[in-house]
């Protein structure tokens, strides 16, 4: 059986505000959760496809400092996971 999963990370800023943390700390917590999920996917052979919808067009209207933080986290995440993606034959596509 083929299994596809889709995730829409949402609420990082709300989480940060509730925890009295910075927006960047909220986005970092979200990125950490994505990393945790992808590590789980590496050992779950039933999942053939997984999609993370990380940014919408409206997200790109946020202030530049927040966007810089998000893009830094995305770059850092993919750099840190590159070897694992190659080893586990995971393809990545950014649209």
How many Å from the N-terminal Cα to the C-terminal Cα in the chain?
Answer: 27
CA separation for the pair 41, 57 (Å, rounded): 27
Question: Which of the residues 44, 48, 59, 88 is marked catalytic?
Answer: 59
How large is the average pLDDT for residues 53-81?
90
How large is the average pLDDT for residues 64-87?
88
Whether 32 is catalytic: no
pLDDT, tens digit (0-9, with 9 covering 90-100), for 12-27: 999 999 999 999 999 9
As given in the structure block, the two tokens for residue 14 are: 């709300």
What percentage of the chain exceeds 70 in pLDDT? 99
**pTM: predicted TM-score of the whole model, two decimal places:** 0.80
The answer for residues whose C-beta is within 8 angstroms of residue 49's C-beta and 6 or more apart is 2, 3, 4, 5
Question: Which of the residues 10, 32, 48, 68 is marked catalytic?
Answer: 10
The pLDDT, as a whole number, for residue 29 is: 94
Half-sphere exposure of 26 (CA within 13 A, CB side): 17
54 sits in which H/E element: none
Mean pLDDT taken over the chain: 87
What domains can you pick out in the chain, each with its CATH number?
3-87 (3.40.1180.10)
Whether 68 is catalytic: no
The pLDDT, as a whole number, for residue 86 is: 83
């Amino acid at each position: 059986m083929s299994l596809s999963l889709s995730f829409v990370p949402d609420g990082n800023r709300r989480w940060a505000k509730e925890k009295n943390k910075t927006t960047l700390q909220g986005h970092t917590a979200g990125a950490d959760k994505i990393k945790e999920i992808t590590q789980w996917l590496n050992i779950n052979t039933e999942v053939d496809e997984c999609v993370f919808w990380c940014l919408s067009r409206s997200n790109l209207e946020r202030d530049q400092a927040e966007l810089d933080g998000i893009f830094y986290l995305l770059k850092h995440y993919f750099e840190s996971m590159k070897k694992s993606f190659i080893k586990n034959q995971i393809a990545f596509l950014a649209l």
